[in-house]
Amino acid sequence: MSREVEQVDIAPSIASLLGFSFPCDGTVIDEVIGHARHCKRSFLVIVDSLGFEEYVQNRGSLPFVSSMEARGLLFKCLSYSKHTTPSIASILCGLRPEKHGIRRTEDAYARKVRCLPEAAHEAGLRVVVIMEEYGAFSFQGLVTLVRPVRDRPDVLEFDEESCRNAIRAIEELDPNLLVMHLRSLDVSGFVPPSIELIDRSLRAIAKSLVGETVFFIVGDHPPHHREDEEHVALIVYKLRPMTERVPRSPS
Ligand SMILES: [Zn+2]
């Protein structure tokens, strides 16, 4: 049985790993600290529509993610909203929707509550945010690097570009905190092309790591047609770089 946690518990848990406190509605998940204590890099990958049951049913088609889960932690994580923007705000601010008041992306620009990426940046850490451009620009000036991804009809292409941006940011900046949003499962559904893309993207990002990194893979909300489901999957796993990198010779 997977233990139940809530989306608001993610931000304070990441903050605790990264060495600062983040007062909010959530509490630090002890198992995460036990699993990844002293790890100074956290990547938060928000996978749109990754409901808990959908993850469990499809884990056979997610070989990389399920290998992380098998060696790491899987939580049944309470989501408060059926919509993307308020859910992502709850994850990033550690506040329930009635407290953060962010219902649409434009509300993020008028936001008065502090979010985890901003707090991490203020704590002197390198922070990267990769998401759809309108949402991404609300972080401009608050984090080290914003990589906006232009919305387009082909969502698989959108996620591929997000993945390339993540790899480039890792190579250029070695971020302590990287936040990204993958959208294929929500737009295309749980069909092989989108499921495989999510798994492949996470594997590619993992391959580019430059140091020990804790992955937090979490759904924003269950799939929209699942009125009865309230939980998303939260997978936490600390990964080491797959290959030792040879330092670049000075040019
Ligand atoms: Zn969503």
Q: What is the CATH number of the domain that holds 142?
A: 3.40.720.10
Q: Judge whether 221 lies within some domain.
A: yes
Query: What separation in Å is there between the alpha carbon of 84 and the centre of ligand 1?
Result: 4
- The pLDDT, as a whole number, for residue 15 is 98
Burial class (CB in 10 A: 0-12, 13-18, 19+), 226: middle
Residue 176: domain span: 4-239
CA of 83 to the centre of ligand 1 (A): 6
In a domain, 224, yes or no: yes
Tell me if 251 is assigned to some domain. Answer: no
Number of domains in the chain: 1
Taking phi over 0 as left and psi of -120 to 50 as alpha, with beta for the rest, 212 belongs to beta
61 CA to middle of ligand 1, Å? 21
Confidence at residue 107, expressed as pLDDT on a 0 to 100 scale = 85
Report d(CA 183, CA 189) in Å as an integer: 10
The rounded Å distance from CA 48 to ligand 1 centre is: 4
Q: How far is the CA of 221 from the centre of ligand 1 (A)?
A: 6
Per-residue pLDDT of the chain (251 residues), as tens digits, is 789 999 999 999 999 999 999 999 999 999 999 999 989 999 999 999 999 999 999 999 999 999 999 999 999 999 999 999 999 999 999 999 999 998 888 888 887 899 999 999 999 999 999 999 999 999 999 999 999 999 999 999 999 999 999 999 999 999 999 999 999 999 999 999 999 999 999 999 999 999 999 999 999 999 998 889 999 999 999 999 986 555 555 54
Q: Is residue 111 part of a domain?
A: yes
Backbone φ/ψ region at 94: left (φ over 0), alpha (ψ -120 to 50), beta: left
pLDDT at 110: 80
* DSSP 8-state assignment for residue 138: T
- Centre of ligand 1 from the C-alpha of residue 222, in Å: 8
The residue assigned the tokens 């499921």 is: 195
- CA of 162 from ligand 1 middle (Å) equals 16
Ligand 1 centroid to residue 183 C-alpha, Å: 7
**Predicted local distance difference test score (pLDDT) of residue 250:** 55
Q: How far is CA 108 from CA 52, 92, 116, 148, 158, in A?
A: 27, 11, 13, 15, 22
Q: Are 214 and 174 spatial neighbours (Cβ–Cβ below 8 Å)?
A: no
Structure-block tokens of residue 243:
């290959």
Mapped onto helix, strand or coil, the DSSP state of residue 173 is helix
Answer whether residue 244 is part of any domain. Answer: no
- Distance between Cα 251 and ligand 1 center (Å): 44
The 3-state DSSP class for residue 114 equals: coil
Ligand 1 geometric centre to CA of 247 (Å): 39
Q: Which two tokens stand for residue 137?
A: 């620009």
Pairing verdict, β 4-6 and 73-78 = parallel
Per-residue model confidence (pLDDT) at position 251: 46
Q: How far is the CA of 187 from the centre of ligand 1 (A)?
A: 9
Which tokens belong to 18? 């990264």
Using a cut of 0.75, tell me whether the model's pTM lies above it.
yes
- What tokens appear for 218 in the block? 């979490």
Alpha carbons 155 and 163: distance in angstroms, whole number: 12
Task: Give domain status of residue 226, yes or no.
Answer: yes
Name 147's bridge partners: 130
Give 71: exposed, middle or buried? Use CB within 10 Å, 0-12, 13-18, 19+: exposed
Does residue 245 lie within any of the structural domains?
A: no
Cα distance between the two ends of the chain: 54
CA–centroid distance, 217 to ligand 1, in Å, is 14
Residue 248 lies in a domain: no
